[in-house]
Structure 1
Amino acid sequence: MTAPDAYRFRRVTLGDLPLLKAWQSNQHVLEWWDAAEPYGEADLRDPRVTRCIVSIGNRPFAFMQDYTVHGWANHHFAGLPAGSRGIDQYIGKAEMTGLGHGLAFIRQRMQDLFQDGAPVVATDPHPMNKRAIAVYKKLGFIVVGSVRKTEWGTILPMAAKR
């Protein structure tokens, strides 16, 4: 297992876009993540979303973003308390999957968000993504609504409290 703060989260830059595009072309990512162009300069400047490259040591291997759930009109998490954050992530390198890294880096980022004052961290996996749902449940997430279609796809709303 890894040390509690073994993962480094650094903001995505324009220089990272080829890496994200390559990761998003991997079959294990394509299964659950939109394969469109990753982001542009305007996306990276959007103050509602913090987009990060996740590394262990000096090895980047995953993408994670967190966002204010109150940043979009009629967002499916808009009923959560002020300051709540939503999260999304994927492991870009297939050889890094199945080793416990997802659970560990999500836990580390959740702890950071809670320490920064977020009362709730929410996520919305596809309801067929059983692996992700199992990880979220291990992290204390519970289902907080029914499966539904949103502008971001079909989701199962889940949330964890501080």
Structure 2
Amino acid sequence: MPDKGAYAFVPLSRADYPMMRGWLAQPHVRAWWGDPEDEIALIEADMDGHLAGTGPTDMRIVTLDGAPFAYVQDYPAHHWPMPHYAGFPPGTRAMDTFLGDPAHHGRGHAAHYLHQRAADLRARHPAVVIDPSPANERAVRAYRRAGFRDRFTAPCEDGDPVIVMEFDAAAPAPSAST
């Protein structure tokens, strides 16, 4: 497993859209994210707001030794109506992510880059949360290894159940064997 410093979080640019479309079309991503063109349209709207100084979402391509392989974003948990985050303090950041390149599956990368990113966010915010579907067992396992702890299961904004997980700032970085 590479040193944690080998992961970098590069701001998403429009030049990344073809790669993002390819990742979003992968079966392992498509199972949990929407149609690639719909997702790109949402990203575009966030990008326009971000560039105009009004967008709340920080969108990043995760690289390993300079090679892109995943996507992660974070945003204010209370910016959109997300009732499952209502009990968290103002300033809480929510995260979403996917590992785009299937060649990186099963190697512990998600747990490692998520721990690195969540620890950085937690140093600046009162809480960092994530909300996987209980059916997305692979993601739930990775989030737990990254240091996220289950808080409760609740319906999200569309009524589907999610596991609300909060990053534990005291959680150690995942070991090389995870």
Q: TM-score normalised to the size of structure 1?
A: 0.89
After superposition, residues 10-159 of structure 1 pair within 5 angstroms as: 10-37=10-37, 38-40=39-41, 41-44=44-47, 45-46=49-50, 47-115=55-123, 117-151=124-158, 154-159=161-166
| Conserved 8 A contact 1:53-1:60 | yes
Deviations 1:34-53 (A, max 9, x none): 22423343321342111111
Q: TM-score normalised to the size of structure 2?
A: 0.82
Aligned residues: 161
AA of the residue aligned to 1:132: A
Moved more, 68-77 or 129-138: 68-77
Q: 1:92 to 1:74 in 2, by over 3 A?
A: closer
Secondary structure of the residue aligned to 2:113 is helix
| Conserved 8 A contact 1:66-1:86 | yes
AA of the residue aligned to 2:77: V
How far apart in 2 are the matches of 1:49 and 1:123?
14
How far apart in 2 are the matches of 1:148 and 1:91?
25
CA apart distance, 1:100: 1.0
CA apart distance, 1:153: 5.0
CA apart distance, 1:157: 1.3
Gaps of 5+ in 2: 170-178
Between the two proteins, what is the percent identity of the paired residues?
32
AA of the residue aligned to 1:33: W
> Whose helix proportion is higher, 1 or 2?
2
Secondary structure of the residue aligned to 2:29 is helix
How far apart in 2 are the matches of 1:88 and 1:161?
17
Deviations 1:70-90 (A, max 9, x none): 111354213211221111111
Aligned CA RMSD, in angstroms, stands at: 1.8
How far apart in 2 are the matches of 1:4 and 1:134?
19
Deviations 1:118-150 (A, max 9, x none): 121100111111111112222332222224242
How far apart in 2 are the matches of 1:150 and 1:78?
11
4+ runs of 1 displaced by more than 6 Å? none
